[in-house]
Structure 1
């Protein structure tokens, strides 16, 4: 998992077969270090999950182009409508003329159909998109951890859950992929920032994700994680219920 050389501090690591974590470390005034991660699935129809902030577009684009030509991008997806999730969406659509925004139906209705320069493909819960050797399945997770339109993508061939803001870890230089504990640091971050919505349906949604038996969790902030994803998701449900 050697990092590719870039002109910025942004790094690229392959966390699963042809699934790449692009990570940019930042320093937040008064808040310490943090990281913004995007995930690129390189296949017949490549998919980028999260665009990063609009101001990060040049470095994220450079990273994508180390893996594939930018105009090969077919899909640009995100968990929910927020600047670090889709701030550079229109910049990527301009650079990749065949790319299509993908999001949940609620996101398309309340934000993305107006914001995006091309109409989004609004995915129904459980809808699957084939990419080639990979395929991704959209899962509605309203208000988990936050936003009515929130959802995640499960890459079924590698059992990789693109899990957005779940298991957010602080720090700007976490290892790209770990098998160590991410529950304790992510829960410490959650208790400090209180960014969860505390929806009463959290347990049921986390159980549904656990039933998919993910073996890699592609977190948007901090390290990606490898191991028994079902057990970790159920441990998160226990911790959220105790909060």
Structure 2
């Protein structure tokens, strides 16, 4: 792990071959306590950043990206859904990376990003695969899982890494970059307190769709990334949600 900013604690860690987790610990207001924001950088011929981070975090995240590769060389700025920590710094990244374009699902492109972004988005259909070089990413529509109509995730196929956004959100500073310990228990305790899921009737089917990809690494946006039988863990989450 490399600390790229000693004041903020922003750090970079390679969690899978060519996939780097950028983590910034923060303190939430009130009694919520320690929390973290993660971005994921896929280093390849066409580098991809998943989650832009909040606008206020942009200088920290840009410096962390630059630790791995030139930030100006980014080609794809991707995210799960439209929310400040997901794509708040999108236009900052488009200014910093002249060849980059937003990358999102069709719904996000039509209802938000075609208007919000300073450059037109590259929209991916459900199941569409895009090559970055030696890495291949597949877009998976997941409306309202855990929230937002346009929500979706990326699976990096060669490493079995599911960039799973707000699923398995864990409290704490997230300094353990990659864990094989329980993340379902802490994430469920956090969900019960915050109630940020949409409670969609399709959640079970969508989680089974994700489980069918058989990921071995879950790249969570908040907290530690996780390594293990991702299909089993996604099905455990489904059982909890539908209980």
Paired residues, number: 241
Stretches of 4+ aligned residues off by more than 4 angstroms = none
- Normalised by the length of structure 2, the TM-score is 0.98
- Give ranges in structure 2 of 5+ residues lacking alignment: none
Indicate how the Cα distance of structure 1 residues 173 and 150 shifts in structure 2: closer, same or farther if over 3 A, else same: closer
Q: Secondary structure at the match of 2:110?
A: helix
What secondary structure does 2:115 align onto?
helix
* Mapped contact 1:4–1:13 kept (Cα < 8 A): no
* Mapped pair 1:3 → 2:2: yes
Q: Counterparts of 1:142-157 in structure 2 under 5 Å?
A: 142-157=143-158
Q: Cα deviation per residue 1:115-147 (whole Å; 9 max; x = unaligned)?
A: 000000111101111001101000000000000
Instruction: Give 1:174 shift.
Output: 3.9
Gaps of 5+ in 1: none
2:77, 2:101 within 8 Å by CA — same for their partners in 1?
A: yes
Q: Which residue in the other structure is 2:35 paired with?
A: 34
Secondary structure of 1:196's counterpart equals coil
Contact 1:21/1:38 (CA < 8 Å) preserved in 2?
Answer: yes
Cα RMSD, aligned residues only: 0.8
Give the whole-Å Cα distance in 2 for the aligned partners of 1:165 and 1:77. 14
The answer on whether the counterparts of 1:141 and 1:150 sit within 8 Å (CA) in structure 2 is yes
Structure 1 length-normalised TM: 0.98
Instruction: Report deviation, 1:112.
Output: 0.5
Q: Judge conservation of contact 2:94–2:118 (CA < 8 Å) in 1.
A: yes
Residues 25 and 175 of structure 2 are in contact (CA less than 8 Å); yes or no, is this contact kept in structure 1? Answer: no
Displacement of 1:172: 1.4
Deviations 1:153-204 (A, max 9, x none): 0000000000000000011144110000000000001111000001000111
Residue in 2 that maps onto 1:20:
20
Partner of 2:169: 168
Q: 1:63-82 maps to which residues of 2 (within 5 A)?
A: 63-82=64-83
Q: Is the 8 A contact 2:9 2:25 kept in 1?
A: yes
Q: Residues 175, 121 of structure 1: CA spacing in aligned structure 2 closer, same or farther, 3 A cutoff?
A: same
Give the secondary structure class of the aligned counterpart of 2:94. Answer: helix
Equivalent residue for 1:130? 131
Structure-2 separation of matches of 1:219 and 1:76 = 17
Note if 1:54 corresponds to 2:55: yes
Contact 1:207 1:233 in 2 (8 A): yes
- What is the match of residue 209 of structure 1? 210
